[in-house]
Amino acid sequence: MKKEVKVHSLFSDFDISLFRAGKHYRLYEKFGAHIMEVDGEKGVYFAVWAPSAKAVSVIGDFNYWMEGEHPLNVRWDESGIWEGFIPGVEKGSKYKYKIHSNNNDMKLEKADPYALKCEHPPNTASIVWELDYKWNDKKYMSSRKDKNGLDNPYSVYEVHLGSWRKNMDENRSLTYVEMADELVSYVKEIGFTHVEFMPIMEYPYDPSWGYQLTGYFAPTSRFGDPQEFMYLMDAFHKAGIGVILDWVPSHFPEDKHGLGQFDGSHLYEHPDPRKGYHPDWKSLIFNYGRNEVRSFLISNAVFWLDKYHADGLRVDAVASMLYLDYSRGDGEWEPNEHGGRENLDAISFVRDLNTEIYKSFEGVQTIAEESTSFPMVSKPVDLGGLGFGMKWMMGWMHDTLEYFKKDPIYRQHHQNDITFSMTYTFTENFVLPLSHDEVVYGKRSLLVRMPGDDWQRFANLRLLYSYMFTHPGAKLLFMGAEIGQYEEWNFDTSLDWHLLEYEPHLGIKKVLTDLNKLYKTRPALHEKQFSAEGFEWIAYDDSQNSVLSFIRNGKDPKNSLVIVCNFTPTVLKNYSVGLPAGGKLKEIFNSDDKKYGGSGLKNKVLKIEKESFHGREHSAQINIPPLGTVVFEIL
């Protein structure tokens, strides 16, 4: 027996025209389940896009999951939207859409693509919810543009919420509320300016780490409800820490309750498997040329910035979107209309995405994980770029880790590996990433990849982080790297916090804390981190000693810093370094300090002599510690 479903709509004609044109970027205000009152009755308005359906019903715990009890009405305007108001449905009610397709008369049960809350996996129902929350981050939000600008320090701690720390008594992950205390205080203690969450949108399969999404508008229920996630975001902001969310518009899984074959047709995915199926991840690829899909995706990005106050989105797997031949052999892809390999629809989508975000949200950043040399990824759209604020520097990561794994005795033959990044570092606004991808699948942890005995391994790791923090660009480090994990990351277990009982591991944490402080307090390290004016080589060609020396500049020349790195365990005393001016040279950071577990070789305040060296009129003789980085200021 059919129950009452009232004709009601949140869509105006203008909404429909924007949706169909691919220009409606607030669809979460229209689609989904909305608690409201109609004609004096409280209930829920439902709306879903299913143009290939012949009938759509809402099934849920309020009608015993019976098809046809609450049928929705299809709009007259051929938009493919089914909608209606069901009296009596309340917050917390579980529901799905029962879709009877015109395609082979299929019947499908689908979760709501716009659901604000989902059941805890492996259950798959959507849950009626509201996003009421009293935010306490007005002070942070009003000054966010001053914290997130490209001339500010941008040091990111990448986190997988399920495995950062466990409640060992109950053998479970921490909740959003528990993390608002423990994770926030920890990130603040070490001094990172931002935290980045691997995808927190609802996902069905734990080993996917969140990169196979089914609930695009719902924070995962594994750790709490939406308001509790807002509480965590709020806590970070009150501590002055920005939050970046990983966002995945590149592909989605084939789970039966998800977006795939949503109404019995290729609704969200591209119908051509050469463009709509990802062979590596065995997942479906969005149809970037379909306007309604573009509206869905851009609305989703906007949603997290709007409703959850996110400070940025790190966009996953951008390269897989940009190229038609990505991970495909000959005959497995079709060139674009110009005969090229670029996915023109995806490029257009990305430009629309970034244009909308930067127009509507002050002080946010979008960051591309893009692993190729695609041009102008982080350049403005109006100049022909893709419009991202920053891009991961995958080449730096690869070359640097390849260099560091070599025994220091052989590094003199690979000097180019460690200097090559400077030939292109200012072509984009780069983030230097040592991410989760570098400590899985047999790659081993960063510490274990370092050569030598235990002392040398820890010294190499301190040297790696020091080189990273003095190199131009923003920084990103995956959790566990700051305590010198021995084991590869395992999504199912906690980090090895007991390691901090041992001095060498505690030294790694201390050196990163001091590097964050140095990066934040010394303008030369961040004010011009994306400009060639912010960097000068002193000498990059001392391959015999495996030494690099360079200058970092800020807006005020008086703030310039001199950095010298020694990539061998040989102590270098009275090493001459050419300098830009006279005065005195004062050591302000040394990765070989005893408090970090180093040998303690330091430099007193040195007089700069008017003796030419390295093509400069002044120079000084310094001591360079083994496997160490030394940072000086000129007085």
Task: State the catalytic residues.
Answer: 316, 369
Contact 201, 216 (CB under 8 A): yes
**Strands 628-634 and 583-590, sheet pairing:** antiparallel
For residue 9, what are its two tokens?
Answer: 């709509």
Write down the residue that tokens 């069905």 correspond to.
204
Q: Give the HSE-up count for residue 542: Cα atoms under 13 Å, Cβ half-sphere.
A: 20
Cα–Cα distance measured from residue 570 to residue 223, given in angstroms and rounded to the nearest whole number? 49
DSSP 408: G
User: How far, in whole angstroms, is CA 81 from its chain's centroid?
Assistant: 33
* 113 prior amide bond cis, ω within 30: no
φ, ψ at 585 (rounded to 5°): -115, 120
Strands 94-101 and 107-110: antiparallel
The DSSP-derived string for 439-466 is GSTT---HHHHS-SSHHHHHHHHHHHHH
Q: Using CA of residue 231, residue 233, residue 234, residue 235, what is the dihedral sign? A: positive
Q: What one-letter code names the amino acid at 519?
A: Y
Alpha helix positions (H), 82-159 = 138-142, 144-148
Buried b (16+ CB within 10 A) or exposed e, 543-561: bebbbbbbbbbbeeeebbb
For the record, the structure tokens of 388 come out as 């991202």
Q: How far is CA 605 from CA 558, 608, 620, in A?
A: 17, 10, 11
Q: How far apart are CA 98 and CA 37, in angstroms?
A: 24
Could you tell me which residues are beta bridge partners of residue 434?
477
Which residues have C-beta within 8 Å of that of residue 458, sequence separation ≥ 6? 447, 450, 484, 504, 507, 508, 597
- Could you tell me which of 275, 305, 325, 300 has the C-alpha nearest to residue 389? 305
Read off the DSSP letter of residue 613.
Answer: B
Using alpha carbons only, give the angle 550, 555, 556 rounded to the nearest 5 degrees. Answer: 85
For the chain, what percentages of helix, strand and coil (3-state, to nearest 5) are there? 30, 25, 45
Residue 91 identity = K
Q: DSSP string spanning 516-578?
A: HHHHHH-GGGTTTTTSGGGEEEEEEEETTTTEEEEEE--SSGGG-EEEEEE-SS--EEEEEEE
